[in-house]
Amino acid sequence: MSNIFRIAAGETRRYFVSPLAWVVLAGLQLIFGGVYWLSLMGYRTTENPDDFGVTDAIVSGTLVGFPLFMMLLVMPIMTMRAFAEERKNGTITLLFSSPVSLTEIVLGKFLGVTSFILALLGLLALMTAALLPFTNYALDLGRIAAGFLGLFLMLSAFSAAGLFVSSLTREPVVAAVLSLVLLLGLWLVQIPASYDEAPLPELWAYLSLMTHFDSLRRGVFNSADIVYYLLFTGLFLWLTVQRLDMERN
């Protein structure tokens, strides 16, 4: 367990000593802040604000659409170097020869990406908390917590998939592009579910990453959504370990 946290600490330092993480965080915060401000102004000018609720109009509305799509673009960039750059620089042999298991290496790198996710969610939480002193309407804290939980689980799933794709190639840019294609496909797989004539619409809806997040964002806490993200993340972390094991042997 100590090896996992040691690797995670090293990955976290690698993210935050480079300008990439700070530029990405600043860019995402700017995007979320812009959508947040527009939602706030729209809520203030609506004729019947009680028909929507501040949580619906501002907080939940900020976590969908363009900002969410930008996070889908960002996570492949954050994970593309995890193994691809190690392989390109030749340092992956040091990982294989180190006295730690492949599982510890993968989990350590995954926790390193998780530190970036937590930093992003922390900034979003501060932005949401800014509503508390200035609104006469009670925030639905349970719904907000469910939305943030869904966002964390979905970004963790993005990270696990990105780590797996990074383990397949030696070029970080190729890893980023392939991760984006994979995640975009799992995002858009919900489209066939909206057509009655499509075969097995329930299956397509279940496979979509967005379907499960949208339920949590709306405050519908279903254990099936949690299990989906945990299985998705666990599957891709396991595939990453298997891929590295094949290369080491």
DSSP states of 191-243: GGGG-TTSSSHHHHHHH-HHHHHHHHHTT---HHHHHHHHHHHHHHHHHHHHH
* C-alpha atoms less than 13 angstroms from C-alpha of 121 in its C-beta half-sphere: 19
| Reported pTM | 0.88
The predicted pLDDT at position 61 comes to 64
**166 pLDDT above the threshold of 80:** yes
Mean pLDDT, all residues of the chain: 82
Query: What percent of the chain is predicted at pLDDT more than 90?
Result: 27
**Mean pLDDT on 147-160:** 91
Spatial contact of 52 and 17, defined as CB atoms under 8 Å apart: no
The predicted pLDDT at position 131 comes to 73
**4 pLDDT above the threshold of 50:** yes
Q: List pLDDT tens digits, range 72-130.
A: 888 999 998 889 888 888 888 888 888 888 899 999 999 999 999 999 888 888 887 77
CA–CA distance, 94 with 135 (Å, rounded to integer): 55
The predicted pLDDT at position 47 comes to 58
Spatial contact of 153 and 121, defined as CB atoms under 8 Å apart: no
The residues, ordered by sequence, that sit 6+ positions from 247 with a Cβ below 8 Å of its Cβ are 92, 96, 167
Q: Is 99 exposed, middle or buried (0-12, 13-18, 19+ CB in 10 A)?
A: exposed
The predicted pLDDT at position 27 comes to 87
State both tokens at 181: 């294609």
Query: What percent of the chain is predicted at pLDDT more than 70?
Result: 83
**Any idea what DSSP says for residue 219?**
T
Q: Is 48 exposed, middle or buried (0-12, 13-18, 19+ CB in 10 A)?
A: exposed
Written as one letter, the residue type at 134 is F
pLDDT grade, residue 152 (50/70/90)? very high
* C-alpha atoms less than 13 angstroms from C-alpha of 53 in its C-beta half-sphere: 12
**Mean pLDDT on 141-155:** 85
Question: In degrees, to the nearest 5, what angle opens at C-alpha 201 toward C-alphas 198 and 202?
Answer: 170
Token look-up 């984006």 returns 180
166 or 50, which is more confident? 166
Lowest pLDDT segment from 14-28, 84-98, 153-167: 84-98
| Cα dihedral sign, 132-136-142-144 | negative
Q: List pLDDT tens digits, range 211-248.
A: 888 888 777 788 888 999 999 999 999 999 999 988 87
**151 pLDDT above the threshold of 80:** yes
CA–CA distance, 209 with 93 (Å, rounded to integer): 34
Q: What is the residue range of 231's domain?
A: 2-248
State both tokens at 174: 């190729």
Q: How many domains does the chain have?
A: 1
Lowest pLDDT segment from 35-39, 54-58, 75-79: 54-58
Q: Is 54 exposed, middle or buried (0-12, 13-18, 19+ CB in 10 A)?
A: buried
